Structure 1
Amino acid sequence: MASSFFVKGPRMTSLRLAIRNTAWNSVIAAIIGGFIALRFFSTNPDFVWWQYLYAFFAASGLSFLVLFLLQSLFSVSASCFSKKAGSFVSFLILSLYFIALVSDTFVYQQYRFHINWAMIDLAINTDGQVISFSTGMIIQIALIVTTLMLLSAICVKICGKISEKKGALWPSLLLIFGYIVVNCVYAFSFAQNIRAITTLTERIPLYRPVRANSFFAKYGLVVKTEKVDMQEAASSTFDYPKAPLRFGEGQEKLNVLIVAVDCLRGDVVDPITTPNLYAIAQKSIVFKDHYSTGNATRAGVFGLFYSIPPLYWKYALTSNIPAVLIESFMQEGYAVSPFTSSTLNRPEFYATVFSNIRPLRMGSAGKNDLERDPNALKDFKAWTKDKAGKPFFGFLFFDGVHSYAVPDDDPTLPYKNYWEEVNHLKLGPDFDPEPYFNRYKNALYTVDKLIGETYKFLEKEGYLKNTVVIFTSDHGEEFNDSRLNYWGHNSNFSKAQIKIPLIIHWPGMTPHTIDYRTTAYDIAPTLMKRLLKVQNPLPDFSVGVDLFASGGRDVFISSSYLEDALVSGDDVLLIKGTGMMEGHRLSDWGDMPEGPMKKWLPYYLDMRGKYLD
């Protein structure tokens, strides 16, 4: 027998009728919303019918689930008081849904991103100085809102009559089934790099389809051997770079090696913790106020190689467009390869940063980082001897600090009082951070030995004479530095979590110290302009500036998986995933008034759409 929620029983109860009303309201509104959502695809005339079909079921299925949940929580509850109250609440929910969806289609068509709280705040609280509305525009908006509210009222009225005669079980199941199908299609398409499907995701608000790479990998269905088709990828919304790269004459064919240490803070390079890196710094260029583009690996590595804000991650992922830093060196004949300890599967750097390198080294063999890190270095050494005379661009990424990997039998560890077993359940505001921090520094000391081995190898093979060697990190690591019970990373944008070292050996340059602020965004344009003589203006491919130029960094964006932060001086404007904003100090993450910091919101909104077509 069908569910009593959707099918008329012999004696209809008010609760049963309210749920049937909710189901029909959700079905009809979701179908209408699915057609409205097709406006998100009007900016690209090349889409074909089956892409529109995919988009319709994705948008309508998601809308049905959200609307049914909201109405079940509020409309059904209101129906316990009276049928009119339940209908009125359903009317409000549908009105807000239609108004938000239609408004978002207009915003997306103009800016190529969806409505967010930062934009709403600018519209409401800047007295028209940033976002203004003419009289004609206000009248037009009023007419659209009135029409959508009338549409909502009609839906509620019609659905109320239908629900008295017929349940909505089968239409509901059809929308749910369609939504499940498009999610399965997306999961397979993502594993197969079918960009005609994956690039549709970014256009549908709140749509987060499932991925199943681990499942498909068991059956050999994850594509990791085919090089990305740049012409096909160019059809994506992701407009990056904004123009084809042009290379000038007189290039210095210097090799490039980026040595990154996961979780390396900016204040731990010292003679005790990192004796090798400290010694290298004494004969290199040291940037004393350098910052990551994120407080987690995905954001930090993305900003380093793409040189644009990490908020473009999903666009790079769905289009498989590689980082311009990698693409430019490959175009100019360099051998390019990453040598990472951890896998490139997660985050999906194999489908983003390094998507144009095939075959691709996916990670190191070994049961832990104490084995995987040395294997990464071993593979790098072998690779440099097998390049057929080509200049090289290498990325060596050690992960041992991230896992606090410390060998049990190393008597040289400098910090004897260290936490022998990391148990995050014990962390709290009153937990003594010293033993934990000591374990971190012992893990860093262990990785520092590999840094010393890397440098000695380059010196022995004669590479230091013709290789730019960059030592840096993806993000920092906090040990309750703020006294606010923050541990690790990906939780705030204080100095402890986003300030990182930058030490560069550049052949022909005199060792010196640079005190002005720099960011990871600056590395790609510096290498591309100085070594490859890229002729494009920087905004074509980067939001950074030359590392050796002191100006142009009044504010920069640093991101996590869910949040963005605008950093200027010691001020941080945190923009949460919900769009709400908070003000903080960079130095200690103390609270600050966010009002004065909102002057940076126009910059943020411009950055959100700058590299979208």
Structure 2
Amino acid sequence: MSRLLTVPQLRRVLAYFFLLTYVVLLGITWDGIDFAWARSEGALTFGFAVAVWLTYGLIYLLPALLITGLVEKLVHRQREHGHKAVFYPLAVLSTGITTLFFYANAKLYTLYGMFINSFVINLVSTPGGLESLGASTASKLTFVAIAAAFLLLQALLLAATLYAYRRFGEPNWIPRRFFTGLLILFAVTTVGERLVYAYTTATGVTSISSLTLKVPYYLGLSARGVLHRLGVKVKRSQTFQLAQGNLNYPLHPLEVTTPAAPLNIVWLVSESWRADTLDAEIMPHTWAFAQNAQRFTHNYSGGNGTRVGMFTMFTGIPGSYWFPVLAERKGAPLIDVLKSQNYQMSFYTSAKFSYPEFDATIFSQVPTEQLHEIAGGAPGWEKDQQNVAHLLKFIDTRDKHRPFFTFMFFESPHARYYFPPESVIRTPYLDDINYFTLSKSELASQIHLIKNRYLNSVHHLDSQFGRVFDYLKQHDLLKNTVVLMLGDHGEEFLENGRWGHNSAFTDQQTRTPLVLWVPGMKPSVYEGMSNHMDVIPMLMPMLGVKNPQQDYTTGFNLLAGETRDHAVIAEWSSTGYIDRDAKITLPLSVVAAQHPLVTGPHDEVLSPQEQDALFARKAKNLAAMLEELGRYLKKTQAK
């Protein structure tokens, strides 16, 4: 056969190349769909799983196919030859990006139970975001190698396809209308599985909708109205939507009477500090300190990530307000109160103030010179040690005639979980965590080794907390200093099938310690429910704020005998409601709007019938919660 391909032949080569790429995508996504579970749910669910697996890879390959095809047509209009330099690289690049994207999604879901979303995009695009991942040099090099490998794979596939076509010509065993038939089959299959989705979600069959939550960006079809008109008994559903409007926070200007003897405040927050690590073995210094303080044993963060966890503890309002606060660069009212009383302030972090964007939200009114970071790539435990030294120096050299407020964010327990050799209390542990080579089976078999790393890092955290406690005791500062300690969020180790945080509202990801030392207050253990949003209403009265707390918080002053009957947690696209009976996650994105997640209060798995009954029983509570979430939004008036 001639080595110079005609235009029709070239288009056939491209068709075979994209077919091979589609097979690669099938291989990448095979492990992401639980076929064994789908088979156990019945023939309909299993057939749906197979149909989705066969179709959605091709759907996301279409952009690369269309772009390459369009460029090919444009090039051939201009010239008959010389086209290879244009769209051969384009075909390799576009399909390489597609396969890498699918691989990244599969790896994210394997490790963390999430897909590439607005949170991940923010992580990549915001200064300090990628640094917060804590990936080792080996992980970074592995990612570069994998990205290069996918591009190389596509280049080899195209080269092999070209060689085979030039050497052997059109395969005789492939029907002439093969690709046309394939597209027709694809169209029928994808329409069919979406009709199945529409029917099952309308009639209350949960197995199909549960399966689609594991498919990246699955866009289901809703046909409740049509099915109802056709006589199908449609299951009624209640929809929930967050209030919209302009930020109105606080509701009224804060009225403050400066206390006669202002209290100092030392506020210590740790990354990924989960509730069950506060004990005498793992954290002896903190445990001993907590015995003489207010210890809250059933505390929930405001979310499952650093952004919302920090935001809720400093503002006292739900995480759903993050975006309007960021848009207006609204600082935490607490900072305004401290500044009005001439507090000396100094803030330290072993991460970044720019990621998440705390320098544009809760700390936006803090002068830059008071926000201290440590440049360079030192491990988290070293930065924690250095920052504690800087924090203690600030206290030591302060103006003794003025109150002070200091804050520090610790990084030791952040994955990859940092600690020096002297902090090892659990062995064996994994020497390094290479995110990009860790498979699902390897993660499951090594999770105990990973958790041992975490526990060692928390033990090191305790040693740094201990340095602060010792200093405050030695300098007789505990008699006039409030000390606050809590985690931004928790950390899961496959207790509910996830690793890390930011992926679900499980207890392991949302429960954190909360310890509060108040001078002169009798030690106590508070066993009722608490939330990060309760910190501000407990602190503000100590600072002389006279407003009703509803003006500036949705939290409760637990020190004044108030109690809460539910907690609110949030993340990028969901809001969670927790009480003594239930934990309900309300997805707020369009893709997941029909899939509220209902479990027991501590993530107990419920049958579909139990979920439906519990969700119906809590409908009024959920509506009240959403109304509460709109308290600090002023509805815009239509003109």
TM-score category of the 2 structures, normalised to the smaller one: 0.5 to 0.7
Question: Which secondary structure state, in structure 1, belongs to the residue aligned with residue 471 of structure 2?
Answer: helix
Q: Deviations over 1:133-155 (max 9, x none)?
A: xxxxxxxxxxxxxxxxxxxxxxx
Deviation at 1:505, TM superposition (A): 1.7
Instruction: Confirm or deny that 1:397 pairs with 2:409.
Output: yes
Residue 537 of structure 2 aligns with an amino acid whose one-letter code is P
Residue 467 of structure 2 aligns with an amino acid whose one-letter code is E
Deviation at 1:368, TM superposition (A): 2.1
Deviates more, 1:340-349 or 1:498-507: 498-507
Deviation at 1:251, TM superposition (A): 4.8
Contact 1:306 1:325 in 2 (8 A): yes
Which position in structure 2 is the counterpart of 1:435? Answer: 449
Q: Counterparts of 2:288 and 2:440 in 1: how far apart (Å)? A: 34
Which position in structure 2 is the counterpart of 1:541? Answer: 552
Residue 604 of structure 1 aligns with an amino acid whose one-letter code is M
Instruction: Confirm or deny that 1:368 pairs with 2:379.
Output: yes
Q: Counterparts of 1:249 and 1:379 in 2: how far apart (Å)? A: 28
1:335/1:572 CA distance change after superposition, 3 Å: same
Gaps of 5+ in 1: 10-76, 82-116, 118-123, 132-201, 206-235
Asked which structure has the greater RCO (Cα within 8 Å, sep 6+), the reply is: 2
Gaps of 5+ in 2: 1-69, 78-182, 188-221, 223-234, 635-639
Q: Counterparts of 2:362 and 2:238 in 1: how far apart (Å)? A: 41
1:533/1:479 CA distance change after superposition, 3 Å: same
Q: Counterparts of 1:250 and 1:326 in 2: how far apart (Å)? A: 16
Contact 1:291 1:500 in 2 (8 A): yes
Deviates more, 1:449-458 or 1:425-434: 425-434
1:476/1:251 CA distance change after superposition, 3 Å: farther
Contact 2:258 2:341 in 1 (8 A): no
Residue 512 of structure 1 aligns with an amino acid whose one-letter code is S
Contact 1:288 1:515 in 2 (8 A): yes
Q: Counterparts of 2:599 and 2:387 in 1: how far apart (Å)? A: 38
Which position in structure 1 is the counterpart of 2:484? Answer: 470
Residue 621 of structure 2 aligns with an amino acid whose one-letter code is W
Question: Which secondary structure state, in structure 2, belongs to the residue aligned with residue 416 of structure 1?
Answer: coil
Contact 2:379 2:418 in 1 (8 A): no
Deviation at 1:375, TM superposition (A): 2.0
Which position in structure 2 is the counterpart of 1:599? Answer: 620
Contact 1:277 1:452 in 2 (8 A): yes
Instruction: Confirm or deny that 1:456 pairs with 2:470.
Output: yes
Deviation at 1:403, TM superposition (A): 2.9
Contact 1:295 1:489 in 2 (8 A): yes
Which position in structure 2 is the counterpart of 1:490? Answer: 502
Contact 2:380 2:411 in 1 (8 A): yes
Instruction: Confirm or deny that 1:355 pairs with 2:367.
Output: no
From 555, 566, 569, the equivalent of 2:566 is 555
1:4/1:297 CA distance change after superposition, 3 Å: same
Q: Counterparts of 2:526 and 2:72 in 1: how far apart (Å)? A: 72
Q: Counterparts of 1:378 and 1:315 in 2: how far apart (Å)? A: 36
Question: Which secondary structure state, in structure 2, belongs to the residue aligned with residue 463 of structure 1?
Answer: coil
Listed as ranges, the matches of 1:149-548 within 5 Å are 237-248=246-257, 250-359=259-368, 360-366=370-376, 367-388=378-399, 389-407=401-419, 409-410=421-422, 413-424=424-435, 425-428=438-441, 430-482=444-496, 485-529=497-541, 531-548=542-559
Q: Counterparts of 1:462 and 1:554 in 2: how far apart (Å)? A: 38
User: Alignment identity in percent?
Assistant: 28
Residue 620 of structure 2 aligns with an amino acid whose one-letter code is K
Deviation at 1:555, TM superposition (A): 2.1
Q: Counterparts of 1:308 and 1:396 in 2: how far apart (Å)? A: 21
Question: Which secondary structure state, in structure 1, belongs to the residue aligned with residue 461 of structure 2?
Answer: helix
Q: Counterparts of 2:580 and 2:445 in 1: how far apart (Å)? A: 31
* CA-atom RMSD in angstroms: 3.2
Residue 533 of structure 1 aligns with an amino acid whose one-letter code is G
Residue 312 of structure 1 aligns with an amino acid whose one-letter code is Y
Q: Counterparts of 2:511 and 2:581 in 1: how far apart (Å)? A: 12
Q: Counterparts of 2:398 and 2:360 in 1: how far apart (Å)? A: 24
Question: Which secondary structure state, in structure 2, belongs to the residue aligned with residue 374 of structure 1?
Answer: helix
Q: What is the number of residues matched between the two proteins?
A: 395
Q: Counterparts of 1:447 and 1:333 in 2: how far apart (Å)? A: 31
Deviation at 1:301, TM superposition (A): 0.3
Q: Deviations over 1:124-181 (max 9, x none)?
A: 96999x99xxxxxxxxxxxxxxxxxxxxxxxxxxxxxxxxxxxxxxxxxxxxxxxxxx
Compute the TM-score of the two structures, normalised by the length of structure 2.
0.57
Q: Counterparts of 2:248 and 2:73 in 1: how far apart (Å)? A: 47
Deviation at 1:250, TM superposition (A): 4.3
Q: Counterparts of 2:358 and 2:467 in 1: how far apart (Å)? A: 26
Instruction: Confirm or deny that 1:565 pairs with 2:565.
Output: no
Contact 1:251 1:533 in 2 (8 A): no
Q: Counterparts of 1:333 and 1:467 in 2: how far apart (Å)? A: 16
Contact 1:492 1:589 in 2 (8 A): no
Deviation at 1:292, TM superposition (A): 0.6
1:418/1:587 CA distance change after superposition, 3 Å: same
Deviation at 1:330, TM superposition (A): 1.6
Q: Counterparts of 1:296 and 1:600 in 2: how far apart (Å)? A: 24
Q: Deviations over 1:224-250 (max 9, x none)?
A: xxxxxxxxxxxx921111110001364
Q: Counterparts of 2:509 and 2:561 in 1: how far apart (Å)? A: 23
Instruction: Confirm or deny that 1:588 pairs with 2:588.
Output: no
Deviation at 1:609, TM superposition (A): 2.4
1:240/1:566 CA distance change after superposition, 3 Å: same
Q: Counterparts of 2:419 and 2:321 in 1: how far apart (Å)? A: 38
Question: Which secondary structure state, in structure 2, belongs to the residue aligned with residue 328 of structure 1?
Answer: helix
Compute the TM-score of the two structures, normalised by the length of structure 1.
0.60
Q: Deviations over 1:549-598 (max 9, x none)?
A: 45442222101222211111241110113233221223135243333232
Question: Which secondary structure state, in structure 2, belongs to the residue aligned with residue 565 of structure 1?
Answer: strand
1:549/1:492 CA distance change after superposition, 3 Å: farther
Q: Deviations over 1:517-536 (max 9, x none)?
A: 1111111111111x122111
Residue 292 of structure 2 aligns with an amino acid whose one-letter code is K
Contact 2:568 2:576 in 1 (8 A): yes
Q: Deviations over 1:41-86 (max 9, x none)?
A: xxxxxxxxxxxxxxxxxxxxxxxxxxxxxxxxxxxx99xx9xxxxx
Q: Counterparts of 2:236 and 2:397 in 1: how far apart (Å)? A: 60
Question: Which secondary structure state, in structure 1, belongs to the residue aligned with residue 621 of structure 2?
Answer: helix
Residue 402 of structure 1 aligns with an amino acid whose one-letter code is H
Which position in structure 1 is the counterpart of 2:14? Answer: none
Q: Counterparts of 1:362 and 1:238 in 2: how far apart (Å)? A: 29
Question: Which secondary structure state, in structure 2, belongs to the residue aligned with residue 515 of structure 1?
Answer: strand
From 599, 604, 610, the equivalent of 2:631 is 610
Question: Which secondary structure state, in structure 2, belongs to the residue aligned with residue 267 of structure 1?
Answer: helix
Question: Which secondary structure state, in structure 2, belongs to the residue aligned with residue 605 of structure 1?
Answer: helix
1:4/1:390 CA distance change after superposition, 3 Å: same
Q: Deviations over 1:372-410 (max 9, x none)?
A: 111221221122234323211211110110134444532
Contact 1:365 1:372 in 2 (8 A): no
Residue 467 of structure 1 aligns with an amino acid whose one-letter code is T
